[in-house]
Chain A
């Protein structure tokens, strides 16, 4: 009896083949149901924003909306740049040089997502212990380069993809 059971027969093949085809079919139906929740074409179409930066004085910043999220554009003073570059890498929870966070030759322009990397609140400018930003939700402190210094946020504020279209315009995205 047991020997007969172990023998692979025509019926076993049919079962396996049916389950396999069935699983592929179910998967093919489930995937569209899942993927429909991802950002649609209309959302993706909002992927770039152009910003006029000619009116921003040194030391000032503006906030623009890009893909539903705030982006901070800050024109930093030479002192602020010097301060950001004087920081010891060992003091940073997420070590990153200030030079890596700006475009070369455009060091005064800090363009970053104004989204706290903890749970997504918008940090307040010119606040906190490090002369940069402070997130009121759970107390994360960022420095003048937008790097996390103190608090629960795990990483520095994100630098989005951006480029200088001309000397007065930045394209984000």
Chain B
């Protein structure tokens, strides 16, 4: 962007741009040199932006009809479903939108893990991304509480009680979170307030996430540094915009499939029973996107230990750029790490499955094995494999494997060259 200063063509454009260089920003975003080999795993950034905007727009509309009061919330959600024009559609988009948001973010995170996008010089992008992920979980949890059904109430009770595991001040913190002596109307009120706030915090972090991305530029499937702009890059518009648009269209078809044909399949039927503080549902489960962490929580027979391990499972990701010792970014050229990557994917899916099952018998054993592997992967496998692994030759440039029919060893650089 920096080589050629953008000059608006029209006089009015020039006048405005001299005072607020929005047009320069627009030109930067349009011309932004992007690696030409980005595959469809790279389209999830755009898809996630779409998800965030969808949640904000449908959420604002729902807030026009929803009542955040313990006595009225459940009925107001049913009012949205039955009375409000297209209320059923807007609510189903919002509730399924949360699931689609998490589906996309998990693909986005695992793409980063596979292609080493979290590594230098992109650590800050990764960390901001994790902060967005944490806020997403907070927003999703509080949003799930708002309909004030049985799962809302007891999910809120169980999650807020996690804080009571903190020694000495745990009970005071829990009471402070509740604003009462149990999950009650004050809790619902503040959850609604925060649920409305968090998406805008996420939006701010998304701006920083993209800003931080535009400093080094995109990583790419071969994971090498590229000159920008060069024959290895294409302008963001129209090349990436059209590819993102196509992927978004496919994503929206799947999204619409859930909304129109099976809108409640990802929810829990108990949440259509109004909240009752005297009766706990027989089988409490969180939403699917939190299940792996729930499995980790339950795999530990100690209350505080379980809570610590569950939070560690998320916070360990923040130091990932420093746990991975490999100089090669992309797992395409890392034959050993690549296998461990897929074991991790299977491990997380398995944890998600056992998180939905009762914590007993074989499920408990699997949860414990899965938890141990999860931590081993980050604490042991990543540093050790990075040191020991003999990586495949990496190409000199993106064009090279394309133009010469594959990563010819004679053309490839040695691994210990600067990547």
Contact = CB atoms under 8 A, between A and B. Distances in A.
Helix, strand, loop or mixed for chain A's interface? loop
B298 A122 contact: no
Interface string A47-66: 00000000000000001010
Nearest 3 CB-CB pairings of A with B: A68-B182, A67-B181, A120-B161
Interface residues of A, number: 25
A144 B152 CA distance: 30
Interface in A34-90: 34, 37-40, 43, 63, 65, 67-70
B179 A118 contact: no
B277 A38 contact: no
B278 interface: yes
B279 A122 contact: yes
Interface of B: 154, 157-158, 160-162, 164, 175-184, 186, 190, 277-284, 298, 300-304, 306, 358-360
B175 A38 contact: yes
Nearest to B156: A120
A152 interface: yes
Given A119-B157, A119-B161, A139-B359, A65 B277 contact: yes
Contact of B158 (A37, A137, A154): A137
Contacts of A122: 277-280
Contact of A68 (B184, B280, B306, B360): B184
A121 interface: yes
A65 B303 CA distance: 26
A39 B174 CA distance: 11
B254 to A, nearest CB: 33
A169 to B, nearest CB: 21
B180 A152 contact: no
A67 B283 contact: no
Given A43-B184, A67-B182, A68-B184, A136 B190 contact: no
Contact of B284 (A37, A68, A137, A154): A137
A103 interface: no
Contacts of B283: 136
A89 B164 CA distance: 26
A171 interface: no
B277 A138 contact: no
Contact of B277 (A34, A69, A137, A152): A69
A70 B277 contact: yes
